[in-house]
Chains A and B, each alone.
Chain A
Amino acid sequence: MSTALKVTDLAKSYGGKRAVDGISFDVRAGELYALLGPNGAGKTTTLRMVAGLLAADAGGISVFDVDARKDPLAAKQLIAWLPDEPLLYDKLTAWEYLEFVAGLWGVPPVSARAEAERLLKLLGLWDNRNDRCETFSRGMKQKAVLAGALIHEPKLLILDEPLTGLDAAASRLVKDLIRERVAQGAGVILTTHILEVAERMADRIGIIKDGKLLIEGSLEELRTQAGQQGQSLEDVFLSLTATLSAAEPEPAK
């Protein structure tokens, strides 16, 4: 199994504060990796660096063996970034939005048209394709952004809280789409505060806190390390974040 994403000693500071502190992990092709952590742990900062939205201070990012820091455009060609807040152009229709995104990624018009139709139908937005995004509900916007993220058939999906604001049906749809991509061999890395999602979907889970990767592995491996056999991910997560952070030295005052 090839490596979709390899992150090595990645670091980022804001005004002297280490937001991400030497994180290393990898995501394999055909794998869903959940990056979990409390608020302010550095999850979004890490993902934004991987997506090329934020410059890293140090470390390496490799996407399917493309060095993302040396050749960002080649890496971006393989990536799709789905932020937690759906950023759309209110005055564009869903169809025009997809056309625009396809243009940015250089998708040939014929395949873009076919893929846009397939995705809009799949996500239940086909009848709204000529409606402006300003008329969409939050869930519809999230689905439109997801369609935009998938239109160039990315090999690495970076999803920051992809299920925020979605109703049960839309949430199921998005999860199915993510699974489909994983089955097709794409690597997926996502953050979520809904631990049941990670528990059910993730092949491997990484837990970060204060910018450092505390632990990673399959759910079973995490249970073993936490000594919480048979417990839910929520119990394991709370136990590990409490234990591992308590074991850390007090920061210097």
Chain B
Amino acid sequence: MSKPGSIPWLMAHELRLFWRRGKMRPKSGLILIGLILGGWLLLSFFLFQKIGPLIPPPPFLNGPGDGLALAAIGVMIGFIASVMTSGAILAAVDAIYTRNDLDLLLSSPVSPWRVLVVRSSAIAVGALPLYAGMLGPPLIWMAIFSSPLWLSAIVVLATLAFAATGLALLIVTGLFRLIGPRSTRVLAQIISAVAGAAVFLSFQLFNINSHGTGGMSQDEMTAMIAGLNIDPHVWWLFPARAFTGDIVSTGLWLLGVAMLFPLGVFVFSRSFVADAAAASAMGKRKRGTDARVAQVHGGVMQSVVRKELRLLARDPLLLSQIGLQLIYFIPLAFILIRPDRGIMLTEAAFAPALTLLAGTLAGSLTWITVSAEDAPDLLASAPVQAKTVDRAKFASAVAPVLILMATPVAILLVRDAWAGVWTAGGVIASAISAALIGLWRRAPGTRREFVRRRSKGTLMAGLGQALVAMGITATAGLGAYGLPWIAILPAIIAAAMLGALYKPAPSSVSAS
């Protein structure tokens, strides 16, 4: 057992909290993860036993073919790094704003530097399990069946989390210095969203901008890739070379991480106390008195809708999450507005995209308006029927989505009425069904809990919303592509799933 107050002891504390943050019991979670991991290990064994010997052994340092392979690996690393950095930025912001036990730790006689090093390391360690679980087993079998040099990939993956965390700490600290606490939180969340989508977006923008009129056929695409003629020794491919076991690049990579992470922790820790104090004082600065006296509007339904819309509009985390969802839509929107550029998609393709987006957005908003209620006692003690409040919350979640979707749907209706009608139907059905599931399968909590949990309520609600949205998306897509009779099938499945998820909303307490 480690000495209380030591780095291992603090790290054990952090990992215990990390492990217990979910709703699942630790033992059940361990069994479930063990089963999934064991299954994946077994499956990947059979897979890589066959294909492992066919994979060319690294390092890939000979000619443009290897350069292309390294570039592909580099893109994958870039994607993982962007997602890890995005998570680490949010975690670093949380460390400043939602200090929780940090006040306790920092008021103890344990060195603050040690506390913050461990907390920063925990951010990095927290980013690892997903990728370690997904890529670890294949890499182990590739090391056995292809080349032991693939083990280097595991080292790069593990250290990548620390590099991403170091970078995130520098970004957050820098933002604090540049724009102050108030804007840092919002901007960090936007940057986090953009970082998470960075690779996807670059690809889409490249795709849109890399050619002129008309679409690019598969042959043209292949020819273009072959013509890239990437030198495997080019400097910016060194993370990919490290991933594939090139000794020099691995050393360079490890040296980089060994500098970046401590630098991030050092800079972050040095300013943490001041930043946290500034953050806690945020909003308390004395402003000139706002002398406005606003009008008071009445009505139960209107009051609840007004309150929900105000809260939605003032929730930076929510806005950043919606921003992330919308970011994925930017390339589509670009094509929709400028049909002469990179037109690989017909209008019908927008039906499933917009339908899915509407369902996702409505699901998020319903979770916020229905489940994340900060003053449930106030509503429960008011002389209002619970169903009236539910209706208002439902409307508050669905209305913004429909307003947001109105413009693209209108453009589609003008350009292709058939696709537009199916899209409009899909968007409405998807938004309403997601909101209904959110109502039926609510998981009460406060907005603060929402921030901490970063989830959308119960597993049943999340899964249900995803499956129903997929059914409606398929319906809208098939219908828009001119296959209305086939579209009936996913519509029936979606309706059946929606029916299965129905659960009467809890009635007003006193009335029970």
Using CB atoms and an 8 Å cutoff, list the residues of chain A in contact with chain B: 51-55, 68-69, 72-77, 79-81, 83, 87-92, 95-96, 98-110, 112-113, 116-117, 127, 129-132, 134-135, 148
Contacts and interface: CB of A to CB of B under 8 A. Distances in A.
A90 B374 contact: yes
A51 B381 CA distance: 6
A73 B384 contact: yes
B225 to A, nearest CB: 49
Contacts of A75: 383, 510
B375 interface: yes
A55 B380 contact: no
Given A95-B294, A96-B307, A132-B283, A104 B512 contact: no
A250 to B, nearest CB: 35
**A-B residue pairs, 3 tightest by C-beta:** A103-B303, A72-B510, A52-B510
Nearest to B305: A103
Contacts of A72: 508-511
Given A73-B383, A76-B510, A87 B378 contact: yes
Contact of B381 (A52, A69, A129): A52
Interface stretch (B138-146, B165-173, B308-316, B484-492): B308-316
B377 A81 contact: yes
B297 A130 contact: no
B385 interface: yes
Contacts of A81: 377-378, 381
Contacts of B383: 73-77, 104-106
Interface of B: 283-284, 287, 289-290, 292-300, 302-304, 306-307, 310-311, 314-315, 374-385, 447, 508-512
Contact of A91 (B295, B303, B314): B314
Contacts of B376: 87
- Interface secondary structure of B, over-half rule: loop
A106 B377 CA distance: 17
Given A88-B374, A109-B295, A76 B382 contact: yes
Contact of A92 (B287, B292, B310, B512): B310
Given A89-B374, A95-B294, A104 B384 contact: yes
26 contacts: A52-B380, A52-B509, A53-B380, A53-B381, A53-B510, A55-B509, A72-B509, A74-B383, A76-B381, A76-B382, A77-B383, A90-B374, A90-B447, A91-B311, A92-B307, A99-B303, A100-B304, A102-B298, A103-B298, A103-B303, A104-B382, A105-B383, A109-B296, A113-B293, A129-B290, A135-B284
B310 A91 contact: yes
Nearest to A104: B382
A90 B292 CA distance: 20
A12 to B, nearest CB: 12
Contacts of B508: 52, 72-73
B311 A106 contact: no
Contacts of B385: 73
Nearest to A130: B290
B16 to A, nearest CB: 27
A53 B376 CA distance: 9
A100 B381 contact: no
Contacts of A132: 283, 314
Nearest to B302: A103
Nearest to A117: B293
A109 B375 CA distance: 22
Contacts of B297: 99, 103, 109
A76 B385 CA distance: 11
Given A91-B311, A127-B289, A55 B510 contact: yes
